[in-house]
Amino acid sequence: MSEKTLPIPPVVLDHPLVLHKLTRLRQASTSTAGFRRLTRELSLLMCYEATRDLVTEPVEIQTPLEKMEGQELSGKKLCFISILRAGNGILDGMLDLIPAARVGHIGLYRDHDTLEAIEYYMKLPDDVADRDCIVVDPMLATGHSAAAALDRVKAAGVKKIVFVCLLAAPEGVAWLNEKHPDVKIVTCAIDRGLDEKGYIRPGLGDAGDRLFGTR
C-alpha cells in the first residue's frame, strides 16, 4: 500500500504592501475601478511568490561595460490558466509581469444548491503538458471549482501546478489539499470560514461582480 501524499502547506503572503492593498480591496466603499486596480497590483505580488521555484539557466550577455554570465528562465515559458470569469482580474496583472506566458481558460460555475462545479468552457494551449502552470481564481471558498479545474488541467498532462487566489477559506484549503495535495496554494489571506451560502467571511464579496460592476 502506497503512502498518502502529504499536502504542500499553503503560502500566505504577509508583506506589508499585500496587507495594505488587501484591506483596501475588502472595503465595501472601494469602487469598481479601484477594485480592478488593487486586484491587478496584488496579482503582481502574488506572481512573484508563485514563480519562486522556476528553473533558470546561465546565459552570457554583454553589458555596456563587459561580458558577464546572467540567468534566464529555462525551458518553455509558463502557462497561466484563468478560471472564468473572475480569474481574468488576476490574469491581467500576471501577464504584465510575464507577457510571454501562454494563457488558458476554464469556464466553471457553481451550482448554488449543490455547490458543485459545472464546466461550460475550456481552452488550453496545445503544448500545455510541457509547461508549468499557474491556475488563478480570486476566491478559494468550498474548493470544488478549483479542484474541478485542477482535475481538467492534470487530465491535459500538466505535471507542475500552482494555484493562486486572493482569499481562501479553511474549508477550501482542506478540500484542495485532499484532492490535489501536490498543488501549492498561494494566497493573500485565509479567512475565518464559509457562511451558509458558501461565501467566505469576512471576505470581500463576490469578486466577479466587484471586478466587472455587475452588481
Question: Kind and range of the H or E element at 13?
Answer: none
Residue 135, Cβ neighbours under 10 Å: how many?
27
Q: Which of 24, 37, 110, 182 is catalytic?
A: 110
31 is in an annotated binding site: no
Q: Which of 63, 114, 126, 215 is catalytic?
A: 114
Alpha-carbon distance of 195 to 12, in angstroms, equals 22
94 is in an annotated binding site: no
142 is in an annotated binding site: yes
Q: Is 53 a catalytic residue?
A: no
**Three cell numbers written together for 126:** 496545445
215 is in an annotated binding site: no
205 is in an annotated binding site: yes
Q: Is 110 a catalytic residue?
A: yes
Q: Is 51 a catalytic residue?
A: no
74 is in an annotated binding site: no
104 is in an annotated binding site: no
2 is in an annotated binding site: no
90 is in an annotated binding site: no
110 is in an annotated binding site: yes
Number of residues assigned to the chain: 215
141 is in an annotated binding site: yes
In single-letter form, the type of residue at position 71 comes to: Q
Query: What sign has the CA pseudo-torsion 35, 110, 193, 166?
Result: negative
- Name residue 136's beta-bridge partners: 82, 164
Alpha-carbon distance of 84 to 7, in angstroms, equals 26
Percent helix, strand, coil in the chain (nearest 5)?
35, 30, 35
**How distant, in Å, are the alpha carbons of 4, 172, 210 from that of 178?**
10, 10, 30
Alpha-carbon distance of 45 to 25, in angstroms, equals 14
Q: Is 209 a catalytic residue?
A: yes
143 is in an annotated binding site: yes
Q: Which of 209, 210, 214, 215 is catalytic?
A: 209
Q: Annotated binding site, which residues?
A: 85, 110, 137-145, 200, 205-207
Q: Annotated binding site for 5-phospho-alpha-D-ribose 1-diphosphate, which residues?
A: 85, 110, 137-145, 206
Which positions are annotated as active-site residues? 110, 114, 206, 209
Q: Annotated binding site for uracil, which residues?
A: 200, 205-207
